[in-house]
Each structure stands twice: as structure tokens, then as C-alpha cells.
Structure 1
């Protein structure tokens, strides 16, 4: 039914492929495209494109997740040559609670992974309220920050032929890639 809207792209704003494996989102996108004829993207696949576009090999991983989930994300990124061991997670399990993480907590998490040497940061959870802080963190810390809500929007806009440089206040991804 999404294709009935005559959209240029379909996006899945979710991060479970981070711990389940990137092939999960590749299969999802293939199924969506096969069923609709419309190209599809996901938050994680778009993040991976952004990391490639920026040449990132040392990723700071900021999430609200449990330690075992965080470990699986780190392992999946290691398989594609990205070191995401510089990380901060909050040990939260309940999905609604992810959205309640405050700015001060996220500010501390981002600062911690930057101080530990991350080349770029991802706020990795589509239920985190974090995208509004990206430009602030980039200005404060001097590294690109890729929020997983923004990544899928960026990829969909690119697929639709939109020049994202016209969109300000949402970080370097939209301005530079």
C-alpha cells in the first residue's frame, strides 16, 4: 500500500539489523522493492553508507541498549572493518524508556566516546530523541555524528534526488555527503 502513494523511496526506521546482522535489512529492502517496485532503505544500511562516504573506520557507538545487544552491534561492525568498540550504552531494555533518555545523558555519552578517540559518532536507536543535538555535538567535538533517524531520511532524500545541503541544523551528513 505504501507504493500506492507514488513515493520515490520507502524507509524502515529501525536498528535491529545492527545486532541481528546487516543481511536482515538487505533482505527487507529487497522484499519491499520486489513487492512495490520502489527502492527501500533502512536506518542501519543508510548509516553504513554514511560511514563509507565519510571514510569512517573508528565509530563511537552511543545507545540505550543492554550490554549483550551492544556487543552484537560491535561484532557486526567488526565484520565489515569498522571498529565500534569505543562505545557507551545505558543498559535499558524497555523500548518506551529509550525515548526518555535526556539531553544531559546523551551529551555525556557522546563526550565520553569522543574522548576515547572515536573518529565519528552514531546515536544508534530510532527511539532516542537525539537528532536535534547532532549539530551541537559536531560543533562541540569536531567529529561527524550520525543519528539513525537522520540516516534513513538522508538516504531516502538522496534516492529522491533532493539536494540535502539545503537542509540546515541537522549536521554534517546532510550538508556534506
Structure 2
């Protein structure tokens, strides 16, 4: 279907078309989540994103082995005032501390707000399961220690991490500054191990914008954690995400 036949021509028509709301909780030091979410939704004109933040910034995590529920639930509660159809935690911490933490977080958000909740990492789990993928390569902006935590966690979750590349950064804000050419270089490098998919972790890492061209070049799915949060929220709402696939990658053509 041509996007010209989907996207309203006037500002008034575009505004009127937005009748599905997604509430997005993002780390406070993040400059990527809003941009990626709004970028994807330009191709899905019935959906409007609404954002709230929770304290996550700098290079030290005061709660390294668990979620800081107070901030996340406060952010979720503010979003309930807009009555969104879904709430999504678009953060990737669960890939370092265990997927069960995201299951519990989504359940707690839903219990606290009465609104269905999901997370980026729950989206990752679903996307890999739908494709039957367990052999992955992992690309991140993380430090050595952060990367080891992610790889160890993913191994415990049953994934065979056959290759990895990381930028060596530790400050949350700096993750967004990794050049796109560097992300492409890391993705090409891990393909030497022939993974079934490349997983780009960190929702303040702009890998989503190069996922589609990388898939065309490399021939495997490139699953970005920020895009996964958007995708998971949209599917909870029953939105057809396929119009976003040409620009944002095969993930958006995937039906869970």
C-alpha cells in the first residue's frame, strides 16, 4: 500500500486520524526513544505517542540488580491521566538483570494503573521466539562490564551469543552519540560468526535508524531494543505495523 494513500494530507486530518494513544516511559537521560517512536509513528498515522520519564542517568546505577519501581510507577501514573491504550517501558535493563524482571515490571505497572503494559525486552523475547531464533550477535554502546552483564544474562535466557561488539561507553547520555557508521561497522563485524539475527541493545543507542539498510546488506534480522519497545506496544493495541517496515526494518512486518 502506498504511504501517500495512508498518511493524511492536511494537519487537521493528521490530528483527527490519531485515535490510539501509547504511553511511553523512558529513562531520563535518554534522547533516542522519543525520536525513534515519533519516527516510526509517522508511518502509522492513527497512533499518538505520549511520554513520561523516570530517573536513569549518568554512569552509576543506584539499583543495578533490580528496577527502581518508585520512579517508573510514578511516570506510569502520570501517563494514566491521558488514558493511553497501552503503557511501555522502553528501556533495556532487563537484558542485563533477567527477563523475569520485565515480566514482573509489566505486571506491576498494569496492577498500579489498570492499563496493559509491556517492555522493550518482552518485545525482544517475543520477536525472537516468533522467528525461532536462538543464535544471536549482540551490538551495544556499553562498557566491558555492561556488555558482560548483557551477554551473561542472554546466555542464561537460552540464547547462544556467537559474537559481540560494544563501543566501550558507560555514561547513559553518551550512548546516543555513537556514530551511525560505527554502528554499521560493528554490525558487519559480528556477521563473521553467522548469527541468525543481530540484537542491538540499549534504548539510548540509535541503531534503529540503520536497521532496515543493514538487513538489506547482511541478510539477517536486525532487532533494535528501542524499536522493539515501540513494536511491542503497537501490537498490544492491535495496530498493523507493516507500513513501517520499509523504513524501520522487518521487525515491523512481524506478527506475534
Query: TM-score of the superposition, structure 2-length normalised?
Result: 0.67
Q: How big is the shift at 1:42?
A: 1.1
Higher strand share: 2
Task: Report 1:74-89 matches (<5 A).
Answer: 74-89=151-166
Q: Is 1:67–1:91's contact at 8 Å kept on the other side of the alignment?
A: yes
Match of 1:86, SS state, is: strand
For residues 100-135 of structure 1, the C-alpha deviation after alignment (integer angstroms, 9 at most, x for no partner) is 100111011000111221110111111111211110
Higher RCO structure, 1 or 2 (CA under 8 Å, sep 6+): 1
Q: Is 2:98–2:157's contact at 8 Å kept on the other side of the alignment?
A: no
Q: How big is the shift at 1:84?
A: 1.8
Determine the C-alpha separation between the residues in 1 that align with 2:186 and 2:235: 30
Determine the C-alpha separation between the residues in 1 that align with 2:105 and 2:221: 28
The size of the alignment, in residue pairs, is 177
Give the structure 1 partner of residue 70 of structure 2. Answer: none
RMSD over aligned Cα, in angstroms?
A: 1.2
Task: Report 1:22-171 matches (<5 A).
Answer: 22-167=99-244, 168-171=246-249
Flag structure 2 segments of 5+ consecutive residues without an equivalent: 1-77
Query: TM-score of the superposition, structure 1-length normalised?
Result: 0.95
For residues 122-153 of structure 1, the C-alpha deviation after alignment (integer angstroms, 9 at most, x for no partner) is 11111111211110000000000111110011
Determine the C-alpha separation between the residues in 2 that align with 1:34 and 1:95: 29
The list of structure 1 runs, each at least 4 consecutive aligned residues, that deviate by more than 2 angstroms after superposition, is none
Determine the C-alpha separation between the residues in 1 that align with 2:122 and 2:163: 20
Matched, 1:21 2:103: no
